[in-house]
Amino acid sequence: MALTLYNTLGREFQVFNSLVPGRIGFYGCGPTVYNYAHIGNLRAYVLHDILVKTLTRRGYQVTYVMNITDVGHLSGDNDSGDDKMVKSAEERGKGVLEIADFYTQAFFYDTERLNIQRPTVVCKATDHIDDMIGLIKRIEDRGYTYFAGGNLYFDISRFPSYGDLALLRMEELRTGARTGPDKNKRNPQDFVLWFTKSKFENQALVWDSPWGRGYPGWHIECSAMSIKYLGEQFDIHAGGIDHIPIHHTNEIAQSEAATGKHPWVRYWLHNEFLVMDKGKMSKSAGGFLTLQSLVDSGYEPLDYRYFLLGGHYRSQLQFSFEALNGARNARKSLLDRVKALAEKTGGIPGLEETEAGEYGKAGVYLEAFDAALDEDLSTPKALAGLWTLLRDTEVSPQAALAAAFTMDRVLGLGLAKEAEGVWNREEDQNFIQEITILIEERREAKKNKDFGKADGIRDALKKRGILLEDGPSGTLWRRE
């Protein structure tokens, strides 16, 4: 089986191949840090995490880059509305960077609680203004810009494949009424690369540039930072579906205009929205749910992760507390099952490296699990695979746990921690130590061909309810 992903560019399933064998460059649009992430935003980052962990499991070395937007993002992605950062800072009576720091930390606290692995590179927009200016100069030198009303614009009419990602038709765009809010734009879809005449008095953060003192448009940061850390062409870019028609469309136009290379990104992945009864959850509209609000209502963060994995990332997911309760109960049963299996064993040697392939039937389940993820990261099927494994009483507890933990290195539901809680119980420690010593003595005896002693140890342990099983990773023990 090969990993197949649904590529928004071209709207089809494609077998994944990396640009450079064994390595992957992946860019995921990060948060705009003017407020807490809502649970809808977190859906996007759980997808990124599943993607990175699946690729890592396939043996790739993944460089995962995430930006932190702390400048330039207006409430309308098409240059309209308020500056999100500035507005939030004013409302809270704080500085913009102070607000950015606070919500960046809050964001990573949430992602950590959701078992989301830290990106390889986390880059702040305000630390990369020079890179953005450099990229804008390249776009300008190649003739894709015009200056009007104090701002530098990208001219989409110079870029014939504009809108390919979103299946926008160029003719329709051009004949569209020129009645956007910004009268300086030649085409309504043109977008600002650099603002000097800010529509906001007292813009908090401004920098010198060849076009005057000002600040960058929102889209340019993702082009500049991804190119800086991943090169002029890379493998995968992800974000929510709202980004297809404007943000990602503009990112492609800028990047390919600057470098002349096509395609800039080879696979585009977009997650569908998490919706509430009232419709889309929105950070700027307020009244949204955060991870902390779920914790305050008595849920564990990983209950929410379980809930998310129960839906495929390209399907809209309806949030409700009934559904979250269902996820919590299901995860609790999963943990209870893991605990029960852990009670029967004293641990798994070399837990981190153990592949269930060594353990017969459990390996078959692991293959099915991998096949589920190969199908465009089908987490619902992968979860079902985990359940089938844990329900099969023919699989030995060690093999079941080894396979389950291997699966959980992608799913991230905290299974190993649960088992370790059992194995590390203080009252068991002496007994476990004693068994470990006896297993070692038996190994020595067998090495010295003293099979009488070796069998004696096995029988003595059996009388105490401990069964030994010799396998490729050494001798495992479990309770009868």
Give the residues lining the site for ligand AMP (CB under 6 A).
29, 31-32, 40-41, 43-44, 239-240, 242-243, 271, 273-274, 280-281, 283
Residues in region 26-65 near Zn ion by CB under 5 A: 29
CB 278 within 8 A of CB 319: no
Give 281 or 362: the residue with its C-beta nearer to ligand AMP: 281
Min dist CB 87 to ligand AMP, Å, is 14
The CA angle 359-363-367, to the nearest 5 degrees, is 170
- Residue 322: HSE in the Cβ half-sphere, 13 Å Cα cutoff: 3
Please choose, out of 155-163, 214-222, 274-282, 387-395, the segment that lies near Zn ion by the rule CB under 5 A: 214-222
Min dist CB 191 to Zn ion, Å, is 13
Q: Which does 31 bind (CB under 5 to 8 A by kind): Zn ion, ligand AMP, none?
A: ligand AMP
Give 288 or 369: the residue with its C-beta nearer to ligand AMP: 288
Find residue 145's DSSP bridge partners.
154
Contact pattern from residue 300 through residue 339 relative to Zn ion, giving x for each residue in contact according to CB under 5 A and a dash for the rest: ----------------------------------------
Give 187 or 271: the residue with its C-beta nearer to ligand AMP: 271
Residue 200 is classified by DSSP as: S
Q: Which does 242 bind (CB under 5 to 8 A by kind): Zn ion, ligand AMP, none?
A: ligand AMP
Q: Which does 222 bind (CB under 5 to 8 A by kind): ligand AMP, Zn ion, none?
A: Zn ion
**Three-class secondary structure of residue 69 per DSSP:** strand
| Phi, psi angle pair for 306, to nearest 5° | -60, -45
CB 33 within 8 A of CB 68: yes
Strands 274-276 and 317-318: parallel
Give 29 or 383: the residue with its C-beta nearer to Zn ion: 29
Min dist CB 267 to ligand AMP, Å, is 16
CA distance 414 to 422: 13
The torsion angle over the Cα atoms of residues 390, 392, 396 and 398, rounded to 10 degrees, is -10
Min dist CB 242 to ligand AMP, Å, is 5
| Phi, psi angle pair for 193, to nearest 5° | -95, -40
Give 37 or 416: the residue with its C-beta nearer to ligand AMP: 37
Instruction: Establish if 222 lies at the interface with Zn ion (CB under 5 A).
Output: yes
Please give the single-letter amino acid code of residue 63. T
CB 338 within 8 A of CB 390: yes
CB 454 within 8 A of CB 442: yes
CA distance 468 to 478: 7
Q: Which does 240 bind (CB under 5 to 8 A by kind): Zn ion, ligand AMP, none?
A: ligand AMP
Strands 191-195 and 121-124: unpaired
Min dist CB 284 to ligand AMP, Å, is 8
Min dist CB 241 to ligand AMP, Å, is 7
Q: Residues 6 or more apart from 41 whose CB is under 8 A from it?
A: 31, 240, 283
Min dist CB 68 to ligand AMP, Å, is 10
Give 292 or 473: the residue with its C-beta nearer to ligand AMP: 292
Give 32 or 354: the residue with its C-beta nearer to ligand AMP: 32
CA distance 179 to 187: 9
Min dist CB 247 to Zn ion, Å, is 5
Min dist CB 237 to ligand AMP, Å, is 11
Strands 317-318 and 12-15: unpaired
Min dist CB 250 to Zn ion, Å, is 9
Binding residue count for Zn ion, defined by CB under 5 A: 2
CA distance 220 to 252: 10
Q: Which does 32 bind (CB under 5 to 8 A by kind): Zn ion, ligand AMP, none?
A: ligand AMP
- Following DSSP, what letter does each residue of 290-350 receive, concatenated? -HHHHHHTT--HHHHHHHHHTS-TTS-EE--HHHHHHHHHHHHHHHHHHHHHHHTBS--TT
Give 29 or 257: the residue with its C-beta nearer to Zn ion: 29
Q: Which does 217 bind (CB under 5 to 8 A by kind): ligand AMP, Zn ion, none?
A: none
Q: Which does 50 bind (CB under 5 to 8 A by kind): ligand AMP, Zn ion, none?
A: none
Q: Which does 281 bind (CB under 5 to 8 A by kind): Zn ion, ligand AMP, none?
A: ligand AMP
Neighbours of 23 (CB within 10 A): 13
Task: Give residues in contact with Zn ion (CB under 5 A).
Answer: 29, 222
